Structure 1
Amino acid sequence: MGDPRVTSPAPSSDALFLGIDTGGTYTDAVLWAEAAGVVAKAKALTTRHDLAVGISGAVDAVLARAGVPPSAVRLVSMSTTLATNALVEGQGGRVALVMVGFGEDDLDRAGLRSALGSDPVVFVPGGHDVHGNAAALILDALEDALPSLAASVSGFAVCAYFAVRNPAHELSAAGLIRERTGLPVTASHELSAKLGGPRRALTTLLNARLISMIDRLVAATEGFLAARGIAAPLMVVRGDGALVSAAFARQRPIETILSGPAASLVGARHMTGLDNAMVSDIGGTTTDVAVLDGGRPRLDPEGATVGGYRTMVEAVAMRTFGLGGDSEVGLEDGGLRPHIVLGPRRLVPLALAAHAHGEAVTAELERQLRTPNPGRLDGRLALRTGVPEKLAAGLSGAEQKLYDAIGAVPLPLDRLLSSTAQAATLNRLVTRGLIQICGFTPSDAAHVLARQDNWDAAAARLGAALFARRRDGRGNPIEPDAEAISARVLRALTRRSAEVILETAFAEDGLEGAETVAHALVQRAVDARHGIAKLTVALDRPVIGLGASAPLHYAGLGELVGNRCIVPVDTDVANALGAVVGQVRVAVEAQVSQPQEGRFRVSSPEGVRDFRSEGEALDEADRVARAAVAARVAEAGAADAEISVTRDVRAATVEGQRSFIEAFVTATAAGRPRIAG
């Protein structure tokens, strides 16, 4: 697949492109054509044990809806959460880390020792200084270790001291490993041009762990596409929103972390045409907020942090909040008229629980509603999550007893729990992912008000009525009926959505986001509560609302953030659409230094060369960066890419004399992906 001999450089306006996004709950598929836009869209449940099953379900459904043969698809592109989830959950293959020119103490920096765990590490002498001058490379220890390592690891990560200034020693070590073992090798200079050896080693280690996992996903997807007769190139979305070929992603899987959020931003821009916007994506559990600047996602300048590790991977600067349609609805403590509190915990909506379990849920809610006084545990039920029994190992006696009492059918908490201590035990079981709680959520409120209708509205109404009976500070019900509390909950969700968007904006402006939003002046401005001093707060750009529930929850958002809120028609498949409409984009950097007066050194992917003048060195840096980026963008799957070059020359003037310090020459190539002919 992706053979350039069967591809053409430019798509016709009616060529069909297939976009796929594997999310935590659903896998989305969309068929798109340049002239027609979205032709069809479909969803299937994500199958975590074998992602290809969920992909096939979504793709088969979207092809059936469009009424087109699989052979009509000319390009396939996917965004995936696989790499992100693997790092968060600590998964991946066992790899060997080879450190050239580093010492044991370097493992204590950047979280490297923690990330390494029990995986083997080999230290060898070598590396370079800041100008690319080499120390003696001695690979004897690596040669001695390779026979045993070849039988016990799935791949290698190689990081050499100052390899970004001269990659020669990494190339030597990697060549030896490939020759003796035939296993995959990741070299740090291939992933990042930034200084900071231990963090570069960490990034390389994580990448090496992910190779076999992404390889299986790509192979499974390619196998499925071949079985359906879809002979089109396969692309993958990177964490910065750019597309790369599946072969490119296989070698650099770590670059696909935050692929899904990046794809949603690309989709948001495509659907609205806006270059500058706040993008807020609301799901069942979380809301993700990011910034579009100049038509591109704003990236995290420090590198993406995933699973507690700060990598050197350029990825979207995304803030995630525990706020969604299935957020727990609660009341703040104290106050005559207590405020609604949402999240961060996700509950199973009562409407969904009753949709699956019927009378087992509604009968208990009706029983609780017949009692004369509200109970503290009204409207709450518990059931098992359905994970394998082996994950329940190591429970305490109290935890095991409570776990055994809970089954696959929801049980009301007022009959399950007899003490405060048991409530704490239940929370521990929830934290471990063994038990889930059913309760009143914004999704239930939407069912009560007939703004959502896919589950059991009667159970939602019972839950809302129970919640409305709760007492305020004066001992009165907080609302008169189910409709009133449901409207209040939906208003609270929109209000909280405005807060998380403003918090992100303040943080991007260099302020303490959460503290600034919580300030009384900002709260008054958002609520338009004017005194003698009239306060307003407004974003400098509109909000793009994404997610299947965005049309409902973001309807009144604009007036709260002081700018318009746009919810596109295909907002429910923004990620899958972003996967297919994006561009291939790669960059290569060459650096010029002056190790001694009158000697200018170019460090690039080609190695190190010295010149007598600054101008010659800059021209050479320009040439090698262009050549390297042209080769890399072709490998990444672009057709006719445009290349641009920027120079960042740093110099100082002392007593009227200009003194060159260093320069960075960056070549960027961008273009649409090749498509099947």
Structure 2
Amino acid sequence: LDVEAIRAFLGRVSGVADAVAITGVFSPIIADQEREVAEIAREMLGPDIVISMSHVIGQLGLIQRENSTVLNAALHDVAQDVTSALDQVLQERGLSASTFFAQNDGTLMAMEFAARYPVLTIGSGPAHSIRGAAFLSGHQDAIVADVGGTTTDFGVLVNGLPRESSAAVHIGGVATNFRMPDVMAIGLGGGTIIRNEEGLIRVGPQSVGHQLTSQALIFGGETATLSDAGVIAGRASIGSSSRATSRRDDLAAGLGIADEMFRDAVDTMSLGKARPLIVVGGGAFLAPDHIPGASDVIRPDHGDVANAVGAAIALASGRWDVIVPANQDRQSNIDHACETARQRAVQAGADPASVEIVELVEVPLTYLPEPATRVSVKAAGPLAWL
């Protein structure tokens, strides 16, 4: 570790930097150097300087982990502003309830934890829709489609929790490797526009969005949408179909294209295994009743608020992902990883007495110079304030 170079750099940014992102080679295996640099940063920039260390945020893969750490540090001021403003508003209105933020693994974290690790909120919306779908339907293993006004998000339930992506996730075109739900979005929703371009029917990705109730044909507007097509096809009874009947052929063709998009997405997410398809969201009526690759199509009651339900029932959780040399004591390494995950769950707001290990994965890594094993642990428990 070139301490002189680090001190020289920190000296140049003193009084200018709002946050520091620290990334070291193979830090998920040995994080000592990152911790040492963090101490130097606090010494030179002040004890209150915001520090993001990559071994806490990302996984193996230097560039993606560095990107994830920089993103977390860059978002800190925004996260701090949001959490502070929310806390102030709640106090002004006399609301003393504890505040939690949704995480992108379908669990919750305390407001202070969210301010420290804002990247964990990215993708939290679809993750909690998936959790809500599980609760409302009673299914623990299924494909979930959350149909909104502009897009539909597809995810997979595994043991009641969202399946996580195993590949690098690109955010704004930048590859990252912090945990994210395995979600695929397509440009299909209740406000998606159906166009007839010289006899060729096109569906989306343009959408009328929140202006559906003023622009769609069934609400007296002039724009053909998938909601109009759903009403004409008898899949929903909203608005008035009188204006939409004159566009019946275009709407039927557009709905057929949308059905094919739905089938392709389900086929992609199912990975060849037939599972129930749970459809939630305000546009759930758009999904066809029979889809190859889905053993059943389920539209649970209150599915239009599945996202809120998912957040309301969620546990607080913590995760620890570490690479350990294969020649070290296996059980000792697992115990340490489990204890770290429990501590992070408590930091996120879980009741210390009720935290349990809900996931433990060991993966041998044979491509490293020395044999090693990746240990990934997730702990979760009910909120301490309930």
1:492 positional shift: 4.1
Report if the CA contact (8 A) 1:280-1:501 is conserved.
no
Aligned to 2:81: 216
Aligned to 1:674: 384
1:622 pairs with 331, 334, 337, which one?
Answer: 334
Instruction: String of CA shifts for 1:386-419, please: whole Å, max 9, x gaps.
Output: xxxxxxxxxxxxxxxxxxxxxxxxxxxxxxxxxx
Aligned to 1:151: 15
What is the CA–CA distance in structure 1 between the aligned matches of 2:225 and 2:359, rounded to whole Å? 52
Letter paired with 2:86 = T
Do residues 572 (structure 1) and 304 (structure 2) align?
yes
1:638 pairs with 329, 333, 350, which one?
Answer: 350
Instruction: String of CA shifts for 1:62-83, please: whole Å, max 9, x gaps.
Output: xxxxxxxxxxxxxxxxxxxxxx
Aligned to 1:530: none
Aligned to 1:451: 237
Secondary structure in structure 1 of the residue aligned to 2:27: coil
Superposition CA RMSD, Å: 3.1
Aligned to 2:263: 502
Instruction: String of CA shifts for 1:293-349, please: whole Å, max 9, x gaps.
Output: 232212110143221122112111111111112212123666xxx6x4311112476
1:156 positional shift: 0.8
Secondary structure in structure 1 of the residue aligned to 2:278: strand
Report if the CA contact (8 A) 1:276-1:293 is conserved.
yes
What is the CA–CA distance in structure 2 between the aligned matches of 1:444 and 1:644, rounded to whole Å? 44
Q: Using structure 1 for the length normalisation, give the TM-score.
A: 0.51
Report if the CA contact (8 A) 2:342-2:356 is conserved.
no
Report if the CA contact (8 A) 2:226-2:286 is conserved.
no
Aligned to 2:371: 661
Aligned to 2:164: 299
1:260 positional shift: 0.5
Aligned to 2:207: 346
Report if the CA contact (8 A) 2:318-2:346 is conserved.
no
Do residues 244 (structure 1) and 6 (structure 2) align?
no
Do residues 558 (structure 1) and 289 (structure 2) align?
yes
Aligned to 1:186: 52
1:184 positional shift: 0.2
Secondary structure in structure 1 of the residue aligned to 2:275: coil
Secondary structure in structure 2 of the residue aligned to 1:452: coil
What is the CA–CA distance in structure 1 between the aligned matches of 2:94 and 2:355, rounded to whole Å? 28
Between stretches 231-240 and 165-174, larger displacement belongs to: 231-240
1:266 positional shift: 0.7
1:191 positional shift: 0.9
Aligned to 2:27: 163
Letter paired with 1:558 = D
Identity level (%)? 28
Unaligned runs of at least 5 residues, structure 1: 1-136, 363-378, 380-438, 465-480, 512-538, 595-599, 602-616, 653-659
Secondary structure in structure 2 of the residue aligned to 1:166: coil
Report if the CA contact (8 A) 1:647-1:663 is conserved.
no
Report if the CA contact (8 A) 1:490-1:553 is conserved.
no
Do residues 541 (structure 1) and 298 (structure 2) align?
no
1:664 positional shift: 3.6
Rg comparison, structure with higher value: 1
Secondary structure in structure 1 of the residue aligned to 2:371: strand
Do residues 331 (structure 1) and 63 (structure 2) align?
no
Seen in structure 2, the aligned counterparts of structure 1 residues 217 and 647 have a Cα distance that, compared at 3 Å, is closer
Report if the CA contact (8 A) 1:160-1:169 is conserved.
yes
1:648 positional shift: 3.2
1:275 positional shift: 1.1
Report if the CA contact (8 A) 1:159-1:170 is conserved.
yes
1:589 positional shift: 3.6
Unaligned runs of at least 5 residues, structure 2: none
What is the CA–CA distance in structure 2 between the aligned matches of 1:675 and 1:487, rounded to whole Å? 56
What is the CA–CA distance in structure 1 between the aligned matches of 2:231 and 2:290, rounded to whole Å? 25
Secondary structure in structure 2 of the residue aligned to 1:558: coil
Seen in structure 2, the aligned counterparts of structure 1 residues 501 and 296 have a Cα distance that, compared at 3 Å, is farther
1:213 positional shift: 0.9
2:5 pairs with 120, 123, 141, which one?
Answer: 141
Seen in structure 2, the aligned counterparts of structure 1 residues 548 and 592 have a Cα distance that, compared at 3 Å, is closer
Aligned to 1:440: 224
Seen in structure 2, the aligned counterparts of structure 1 residues 296 and 500 have a Cα distance that, compared at 3 Å, is farther
Seen in structure 2, the aligned counterparts of structure 1 residues 293 and 486 have a Cα distance that, compared at 3 Å, is farther
Secondary structure in structure 1 of the residue aligned to 2:154: strand
What is the CA–CA distance in structure 2 between the aligned matches of 1:206 and 1:146, rounded to whole Å? 19
Letter paired with 2:204 = G
Report if the CA contact (8 A) 1:232-1:675 is conserved.
no
Seen in structure 2, the aligned counterparts of structure 1 residues 541 and 649 have a Cα distance that, compared at 3 Å, is closer
Secondary structure in structure 1 of the residue aligned to 2:166: coil
Secondary structure in structure 2 of the residue aligned to 1:165: coil
Instruction: String of CA shifts for 1:583-623, please: whole Å, max 9, x gaps.
Output: 222222444326xxxxx34xxxxxxxxxxxxxxx1132133
Between stretches 240-249 and 167-176, larger displacement belongs to: 240-249
Secondary structure in structure 1 of the residue aligned to 2:181: coil
1:444 positional shift: 4.4
Seen in structure 2, the aligned counterparts of structure 1 residues 277 and 285 have a Cα distance that, compared at 3 Å, is same
Do residues 587 (structure 1) and 319 (structure 2) align?
yes
The count of aligned residue pairs is 374
1:244 positional shift: 1.6
